[in-house]
Structure 1
Amino acid sequence: MTVNPKFQNKEIKKGLYIIPTPIGNLRDITYRAIEILKKSDFILCEDTRISRKLMEKFEVKSKLLSNHKFNEKKNLSLIINHLRNDKIISLVSDAGTPGISDPGAILVRECVKEKINIFPLPGPSAVSTAVSISGFSEKYFFYGFFPSKLKDIKHDLKLLSQLDSSIVFFISSKKMNKTIPFLKENFSDREILICREMTKIYEEYLRYKVDDLKTLDENLKGELTIVISEKKRTKKGSLLLSESDKNNIRKMIKKLSIKEIVNLISQNNAVPKKKIYNFCLKIKNEA
């Protein structure tokens, strides 16, 4: 069966559309995103120069309006008025999902307050992309960008280290090397994934144990997405065999091999396998 990717001329509901844009490879944008961008009255852009390249590639002719962290409050009343007048407005950032460590949250909150329709589109996100290949816990805490002062970074890392989940944050490559000592101090025994240039030609994924982190190449540029693994879990319990375990071993010793008994008992037990083995051997010799 052949699928025709051409867009249908169906009516789009009026309101604000949150449209994720590629984090690197421009082909990662969805058909629906392009369709809505083409039918938008205005497209709010973090940087119109960057967004224009994307729009030109997909022949989007809609008007671009600058909407970044320095003017989004100033723009608010004008945009809300347009939305009240049944305009279709799309919000994009330079890369990824708007409102996630990018401008957009202020406008969304105002639309919620004014009961204006907001429609989110699924799409590219550096956060979920990095977590998906980390191999760490699927439960994660997303922090975003760190503050500018190192003392504040140190304070926040100490708080984050108490979380028993994967931790995701963004950081500039220039600031990363200064942060490494604080990572080692707070996340010893954990693992770390460093993602740079994701989905681009020179994409790179660096995996380390936090304790083994070394200074990164000084020529490294751009923003990094970092994922730190969850805490290592240790089995809780006594390091001595309980009377219940001993009785179970006595019952199993004539039916199972010592190796099988050791594996069964150690599954939910913190007792070293060597101790279990020695007790099994003792019981077997007594029989």
Structure 2
Amino acid sequence: MILDTENTNNKVKSGLYIVSTPIGNLSDITLRAIEVLKKSDYVLCEDTRISKNLLDRFDIKSKLIPNHKFNEKKNLSKVIEILKSNYIVSLISDAGTPSISDPGAILINECLINKIDIFPIPGASAVSSAISISGFSDKYFFYGFFPQKQNKLKEDFEKLAILDCCVVFFISPKKFNKSIKEIKHYFLDRKILICREMTKFYEEFIRINVDKLEPFKSDPKGELTVVISEKTKEKNSSIILKESDKKNIQMMIKKLSIKDITDLISQYSDIPKKEIYNYCLKLKNEK
């Protein structure tokens, strides 16, 4: 079948366009995104300095309007008025697909109330990019950014840990370092992919088992996109720690780290690492 690229459905009509922009490498922008941005009367963006670099690169002259989490509610009536006047308005974020852990949902819902047409312009997404190279299950749950409060994080991890799919989240390196203990506790027997600076010059992909996780020695720049693999099918999940194992752990707990004890016990035992780790953690917390 030959697609009709000249179909009237492909023409840029008035309404709101949710335009995906590159997550790093500017060459990843789509031809359709460039076309829509060029024909837009206004482009709503998070940071005008970042968006101007993108627009200048592709000779796009559309007017930029700052639209970030601190002013999107204040902008709402003005933007809706513009859209009702049959203008073409595009919404972009600093990187990736708008409204995915970025401003956008408030405006989109207001457009729905006012029966204003909304059009998605697909493109780059840190979530799908990370999943595509993970080698994990293609069933995934996107969590978004970690909450500020550690108690809320533990509460959410408890729910996420029982899902039979991989989990994707965004996080700063500093926050990631602080959350390693919780990640190990809830996802111990899984694999993890840490993506940094994707599509940029210094992009880095770290693949490791969760139990081997160590903090970054220095905080690298930028946000991390992290994928935790789906649950491991534990054939030996019914096996529990023997009293002899518990005694050995009790003797080692003052001298060795939980990680070292878990590795040692698991070498001569069929007990799941999570079972060993949780018992060590229990002993530590009892002190």
- State whether TM-score is above 0.5: yes
Runs of 4+ in 1 over 4 A off after TM superposition: none
Q: Secondary structure at the match of 1:99?
A: coil
Q: TM-score, normalised by structure 2?
A: 0.77
Residue in structure 1 matched with residue 154 of structure 2 by the alignment: 154
Aligned-partner SS, 1:176? helix
- Amino acid corresponding to residue 233 of structure 1 in structure 2: K
* Corresponding residue for residue 33 of structure 2: 33
The residue number in structure 1 matching 2:70 is: 70
Matches within 5 A, 1:84-233: 84-233=84-233
How many matched pairs? 228
Separation in 2 of the partners of 1:224 and 1:74? Answer: 30
C-alpha spacing 1:235/1:181, structure 2 compared with 1 (3 Å): closer
d(CA) in 1 for partners of 2:135, 2:34: 32
What residue identity is the alignment partner of 2:60? V
Task: Name the counterpart of 1:55.
Answer: 55
- Give unpaired runs (5+ residues) of structure 1: 1-9, 239-287
Unaligned runs of 5+ in 2: 1-9, 239-287
Distance 1:158 1:183 in 2: 10
- Find the residue that maps to 2:112 and give its secondary structure: helix
Shift of 1:153: 1.6
Verify the 8 A CA contact 1:174 1:221 in the aligned structure 2.
no
Q: CA deviation at 1:30?
A: 0.6
Secondary structure of the equivalent of 2:207? strand
- In 2: Cα distance, 1:79 partner to 1:217 partner: 45
Question: In the aligned structure 2, how far is the partner of 1:51 from the partner of 1:16?
Answer: 18
Q: Return the offset for 1:217.
A: 2.7
> Identity over the aligned pairs, expressed in percent?
63
Partner of 1:267: none
Larger Rg: 1
**Offset of residue 11 of structure 1:** 4.6
| Alpha-carbon contact 1:45-1:64 (below 8 Å) kept | yes
Distance 1:11 1:179 in 2: 47
Q: TM-score, structure 1 length as denominator?
A: 0.77
Task: Provide the residue aligned with 1:80 in structure 2.
Answer: 80
